[in-house]
Amino acid sequence: LSVTEAEPDEDFISQVKDNIDEDAGIFCVNIRLTEVFEGNEERIESIDEPLEIRIELTEELKAPADSKKARDYSLISVYDGKTVVSEANYSNGYLTFKTDKFSVYAIAYIDLDYGDVNGDDKVNAKDVLAIRKSLVGSDAGTYYNAAGDVNADGKVNAKDVLKIRKYIVDKTSETLGQA
C-alpha cells in the first residue's frame, strides 16, 4: 500500500467541489494497492472487503492544536463516474478511514466552531439533539464530528452532550474544545 500526493484533473476537482462546503480545503492523494507475484507488480483497484487505512497528515493538514476551531475531515473519491463522500476520523495527526477502492482521493477539511455540530454558526439545543440522535441511531458508536468533540477526548458521546448543555446555560462556565 502506498499513499502519495496526487495532481488530479479538472473533472475530478470539479466533482469534489460539488460535494463540499465552499470554505473547505482540499488535498489530493493517490492510494495504491499493489501485489507482487514472481517479480511482476500488479495494481489492485478494488477488493471484496474494506481495508482500514491510516494516513499520517502533513503539518498543514493537521488540526491546529491551539485553535478555537475543530477541523472536520471527509474523504472523497470518484470511482466509475460516481462521487463517494466517506467519513474520515482524525486523531493524533492521523486520518483513519475504510475503503475497498484504490485510486485518487481528495481529503477535504473545514474548520468549525466547537459545539456547532449542525453547522448553523450557533451552539444551541439543535446541536445537542444532533449528537443525541447519532448516539442512539443506526450509526451509534461510529459517529464522529470534530465540532461535537467539545471535551477533546477523540470521541463524541454523552460527556460532550453534557458539556454543550452546560455551555448553553452559562457560556462562561465551559470552554468548548478543551478537556
The tens digit of pLDDT for each residue in 42-83 reads 999 999 999 999 999 999 898 777 677 888 898 999 988 889
Instruction: Judge whether 91 and 54 are in contact, CB under 8 Å.
Output: no
pLDDT value at residue 119: 81
The pLDDT of residue 140 is: 47
Per-residue pLDDT, 5: 94
Model confidence over 150-173: pLDDT tens digits? 988 878 888 999 999 999 998 877
pLDDT interval class at 14 (50, 70, 90): very high
**Helix runs in the chain, H state only:** 10-17, 125-136, 158-169
Beta bridge partners of residue 46, listed in sequence order: 101
Distances from the Cα of 154 to the Cα of 14, 87, 122, 167, angstroms:
32, 15, 22, 19
Strands (E), 80-158: 82-87, 89-91, 94-101, 104-113
Query: Which of the four pLDDT bands, split at 50, 70 and 90, describes residue 31?
Result: very high
* Residue 108 DSSP one-character state: E
Cβ neighbours for 135, distance < 8 A, ≥ 6 positions apart = 143, 156, 157, 158, 161
Tens of pLDDT along 114-156? 898 888 889 999 989 888 887 876 554 445 678 888 988 878 8
